[in-house]
Structure 1
Amino acid sequence: MSPVRPRLTQFPHGITAIDTDYHRPRFDASHLIVDEGRAAFVDTGTTHSVPALLAALAEMGLDRKSVDYVLLTHVHLDHAGGAGELMKYLPNAICIVHPRGARHMVDPAKLIAGTKAVYGEAAFQEMYGEIPLIPAERVRESKDGMVLRLGDRRLTLFHTPGHAKHHYCIFDDRPQAVFTGDTFGVSYRELDTDQGEFILPTTTPVHFDPQAYHQSVDRIMSFEPNACFLTHYSRVTDLDRLAEDLHREIDAFVAIARAHQGAEDRVSTIEQALIRHQAERMAAHGIKSPEETTRRVLDMDLQLDAQGLDVWLSQQEKQQA
């Protein structure tokens, strides 16, 4: 691996966000938690991200043997694609995965095939690279409510379906914060204004479940956290308002999907409606050039959100048939 200089954002209580260089700067973060000389990664980015994660350890003066856990909030490849490669360099680490996702880390063939079917071989390699398996003895399934010790702090893992059935979040008792993967939505720092942070849910295929999503947001808030650390992108703190926004937007996404259920090109029609909706929200949030900003910052998100809503509509149609 050629030397890299990782882009790090350090927070109190031994938490560091590492930019994984996926898609664009400040789009996708891995978080490193350090306590009493012991460390854990939360999400990994892709295989291409691994040099930055290892460089972060070196820059912070941490031995690779000090990493006890690689915590994968879920197995979507922008969160877990780099786990197999990263584990090669962390001799003491155990990878903690939701029971529904663990098999995909031990044998990623189905995960790889499904992703290639969506993006094609060339785009897959460019975005994700090779995805090595993780030996089964180094994978441990999460249990709802399980507690891990990291140094002198407690990490509580709790299952949070809605975005994905194979999703969990992590409550860290030291900063009283939750690492939320995608369950607390996405919030990019370039969308922050004097009105605060801007947030929206993510309905990526294929497990979007609005009722479960609402319940999982409420469960995150039941811990009364001071902050949430999102994979897309890192720390947000105005949590009461953001939780209200997420609940409202989950319902708005469902309404948009249902309003265009009979459209001939349903995915494209839903995507365009989502773009218009988010541009209106951005204008109200004080963001300049809201439509251009929506397309520039949320292009990948809204494409995937539209696809996920289409899958959800198809599931609803089958249930009603």
Structure 2
Amino acid sequence: MDSSLDQVVTIDTHYENKRRRGASYFLKTVNDPQHVHGLFVDNSTNSCLTKLLSAIDVNGISRSDIDYLIITHVHLDHCGCTSQLLKHLPNATVLVHPRGKRHLVDPTRLIQSTAQVYGGMENFEKIYGKIEKIPQERVRTIDDGETLDFGGRKLKFIHTRGHAKHHMVIHDSFSNAAFVGDTFGIRYPDLCYENPDNLAIFPSTTPIDFEPDLALKAISDVNSLHPRRLYLSHYGRIDDIKTATNNLVYGINSYWKILKESKKTGLKGDLLFNWIKLKVHNWFVKYIREQLGDNNRINWKELQADVELNSQGIAFCSEYR
């Protein structure tokens, strides 16, 4: 757990029991030091409940003074702890994209689709645990462009499709930072032990909502807010937004090219997936070596799940859209 001058606390949720794979962000009000309230942006999975509650306690805030759980999008590596966390936060309201509310109130379909992606319920339960319904009255939907005053911070919400249709980004006026969920892709500090601040950012095309044109628009929309830093859910703070933007745009365009080429093959099902997976794997190898150099300090195992999931997402778009 670390805190910056922006009073943004980064909580390493140890997603899938790995360091610096998933983050939750804890923000505090800044206008009255005698009466401090808090909120979370994303909350990862049930396995990190203790870490999230500890962040509240360490900062000397009453659990009854946690006002909001903001969900960037309703993928369970971002909102999987919501139902359990709410049990400890009597006054907290969940803020979510309008398309996401129904999946929180009744997570049946969300659970089924996630389990399918991760190879069945057994694997699902190992990663995500028990996902429960959230009472409707504790969930509030947020419109595109809506603003919220939070104790000296003005939060602006923008809807950002491309990774998911129910995705939104949050800009905080106090820190001039944008909390981008998966809109700005993925960056793993531990991909190369010699370069934990690497900017080897790549797109996340998890099934089923990859829309490359809208993903590029979302990047432009985030940059139009003129943030001085970004907070990625996977993972951490990014200060060099220009380089991050260039790398991510390159990645999206590369995946878009693979998508277009795949449609011309006439392949279906497993044959299509395997064709795409080889292309995605080769792209990763080339891109990561360009970014980090060809050395044996690159932890290639960090990327195995992303090669699989990104290939699944591109294959779905190729076959069904």
Q: Spell out the pairing of 1:132-211 with structure 2 (5 A cutoff).
A: 132-191=132-191, 193=195, 196-211=198-213
Aligned to 2:255, which of 253, 256, 262?
253
Q: How far apart are 1:198 and its partner, in Å?
A: 1.4
Mean Cα displacement is larger for which, 252-261 or 35-44?
252-261
Mapped partners of 2:250, 2:299: distance in 1: 19
Q: Which residue of 2 aligns with 1:319?
A: none
Q: Is 2:316 aligned against 1:314?
A: no
Aligned mates of 2:273, 2:249 — CA distance in 1: 23
1:233 to 230, 235, 239: 235
Structure 2 residue identity aligned to 1:96? L
The 5 Å alignment of 1:101-140 reads 101-118=100-117, 119-140=119-140
Alpha-carbon separation, structure 1, partners of 2:157 and 2:279: 36
Match of residue 285 from structure 2: 279
Q: TM-score, normalised by structure 1?
A: 0.91
- In the TM superposition, what is the alpha-carbon distance from 1:92 to its structure 2 partner? 1.1
For the aligned residue pairs, the C-alpha RMSD in angstroms reads 1.8
Cα deviation, 1:133-176, whole Å, max 9, x if unaligned, reads: 11110100011111112111111111000000000000000111
Q: What's 1:18 paired with?
A: 11
Q: Write out per-residue CA displacement over residues 167-197 of structure 1, whole angstroms, 9 at most, x where no aligned residue.
A: 0000000111100000011111124749952
Tell me, in whole angstroms, the C-alpha distance in 2 between the residues paired with 1:127 and 1:260.
31
How many residues in Structure 1 have an aligned counterpart in Structure 2? 308
Match of 1:54 in 2: 53
Please state whether the residue corresponding to 2:278 is helix, strand or coil: helix
User: What is residue 29 of structure 2 aligned with on the other side?
Assistant: 35
1:68·1:92 contact (CA, 8 Å) conserved in 2?
A: yes
Which 5+ residue runs of structure 2 have no aligned equivalent? 31-35
- Superposition misfits of 4+ residues, deviation over 4 angstroms: none
**In 2, distance between residues paired with 1:69 and 1:220?**
22
Unaligned runs of 5+ in 1: 1-7, 317-321
Separation of aligned partners in 2, 1:110 and 1:143: 23
Q: Percent identity?
A: 34
Are 2:84 and 1:85 aligned? yes
CA distance, structure 2, for counterparts of residue 85 and residue 157 of structure 1: 25
Q: 1:304 aligns with which of 304, 309, 317?
A: 309
- Secondary structure of the structure 1 residue equivalent to 2:165: coil
Aligned pair in 2 of structure 1 residues 39, 160: CA closer, same or farther (>3 Å)? same
CA contact (8 A) 1:191 1:287 kept: no
